[in-house]
Chains A and B, each alone.
Chain A
């Protein structure tokens, strides 16, 4: 490539930027469209109340209590959710436990038929009917509970069923533990000496051994469940931060590729290429000028998207005083250079500006949806996840996210950064070669 006279490249950049900026279609697609997506994500897909699930539960409590079986009552050994035994009814305890769980919104019904009617009309997700002899059956053995599951689609039905099973299993387990403790109370009261007898081999009392054993009977496995939510879905500000960077990546993908693909042919079709070349403009100056003008447009688009994302509640972190944070503009630049370079390569396949910009924008949009730039990897099928892992623009976008949204240390992104940098150098070299080939189609001596 011949040397560059910066003045001419800047003149081209300024004129081209003004020209692009005054084309409403360009401004809409490059600047407004990604911002609209951020607003859509914030308002529709991740509304402020997103993340909380509410199950509407209807309950018919017909339980008449323990009657003369009060001896079987569990004591205040059960946990907080089932601690209210004032009215001596397990059914009432269940209703209170449901009310205390933030997951459920409870509505009480006086009859089973009313409950079923509302379930069938999709006003409820779950229906629970506590029969008359519920407490007595519990005191003497096993109590039967009737649960009805609804939902407007099979997935929701499965989810509601899962919620019901999970909650009632836990409730049932706690009742069992309470009953064990009630029996242990009798054991200590009526066989005090036996209970306090030390078992030498275990170095503890027999009462303690029996207690552990009985609790183990009803609770043989203590399952520890810890939530590890994908960080993209961790909370709303992070989700919006993720999509804000995604929107910038998306506009770079389709705008960068479209502008790169059409950079030469647009100038040719409008007759400016001949004029510039005859005025002594070199191919390298045109390349720099066009890249700068598109880059300036992408800078404006990025700023608008970040401001929109921030206004919608996205978490973005950037400080000019933190050297690590300069990786954000660096990687936005790398992402832009990579997409424009791919666009230059696409220009080899097209002969008209319409074909070039169509190919660039369609491919860019498609790739932004399938390579983890706009849609999280967790939403992609396995094959596309592999593609996302191999796609260089995604590396740069991921570095931006790591710094801009997740505040990660440089050490955790160093490898990704190195890969993005190396890929950008390679793609830019390819892009320049493709550009030279394209321009030689129209101008033989530039």
Chain B
């Protein structure tokens, strides 16, 4: 390649693309020469933590990824695909946009939505639902409020415009997310199994079409510079954040689905992190092929862009389509109909090289193999000392609060973490496409699948505080709770997607958290028989040297064979009996205070060691699902943040019914009512079905205890300890986020 200009490198250039000098030397060794600037930029993007998974790939394989419904190996395509019967597949994936959202929350979050939607679209699937798992610092800090309002506004702006319902997720607040919010967006797509599209270049001779937005200078170094290291001077990074165009995003969805149906499409890949570079190189790798691109053909937003900028731009709303020379005209007709630009930019060959030209001039020529083979780092983790200290914290010496149980309940319901998130989700269109059977606010969203009897249940979960206290247990609990939440709607969990949000993995304590969270998640996946079919990793989440809580976010997909059989978390009828599945009595042990919302809110303490029995978890979920499917149980609600009393109160607030609790509280009342031990579900049953539930639980060896009765009076009472109107509970709960 004599006509390639280049060679030489200095530290500043490497720093710009977040490559180390060792990595540079490795590139030189593998190429047998020095890369030029364009080539180095391509390596920098593909070898970034964001694209190359340098620290996480050796650990991710712990997660089970196989199952009878799994249609594609994870990582092979843009998202996981799961068989739901009736010839249909669900495609889904969660992805982070934490760093862009920290720099520019509105566009960062908006393009997070747009990006994950195009991952789903690239599989040929119609996007049918969005969920968002969000973490912020406390809202009394104006910087956090700015991030919160920006992120919610950006999600609302993009999601509402493209006509994909936003059906659920979480919003959680903790100090460690101050100025480093987590913005994890999950998209779900529906497709006929036989229509799945591969992100592969296919056979030599195929042509490459770039469709959608013009390429601009936005987002250059987004993958390498922004998402793959820590950052202090955030303002300087604003040009690395992309800007979304949801209108074009919507039109692109319709045009690409029409392209799929045209029969002229050989493959499809979205342009996400690292833009054209990763789209072209990764889809060439899938095909075992090579390609030749001409950047001079790329339609551009800015004049004077050089090949480096075109190859690394992360401009949004762009897709790479693969077709044959004969079928190309068929695709051009589709994109002309939708008035979306569609330009031929290259072709597929058998060289196994990525060759980039600018008109007649060759500007890069790189073998595909080393580009997609980023170095992997398997480090030795070190258990954080803090974790050991907090695990030994003498919870038994935590005094009972001065407030009575009723006051504590009101206080917890009024916290931002426990309280209603309606102020957030009413800003999202959660009904468009008319499939949303259970809207946000229950344990999981439920969507019907038109044309079948089926439904799917969706949720996200991940308690960073638990993972901070014990990464292994916390990781297991994240998986267990996500599965428990879809179970509480009556659905069987069939697949998971995960987003691993952690600090700097080069710090041994952080690496330890990453490794043991993944191991805990893997153990829970195996125990519950649910594979992880897609995922994403976001590292370097820290500011000013302080890492976030290790926060794996798990998205669960559940399947309901008969969608009309679903239940919600709300009590239905006065007179129904209320049971707690998973415990034989309500006994408060101080260990149950571990990592609880109560312990932090009332005592200002984050300590303890969360635990979970996965064998019990599995059986509790089995009983709950069976009882729902057989029509025994009419509501089910996971006991999680805030514990048993909060779960009972929330089950009343939805329908405005009351609860008369007649169970003895054994041991510490605060731990009994507000402790957060795992594998517990509050269910209600019609008065004549209590025996049926007891029998079912007995068959599977699941303990249960009768708690009381649903009442019509609107009063919430727990024998001798809590007594208050449900309307007062509701007021505290609804007002938790204040005016936003």
Do A and B form a real pair?
no
User: Which residues of B approach A to under 8 Å, CB–CB?
Assistant: none
User: Which residues of A approach B to under 8 Å, CB–CB?
Assistant: none
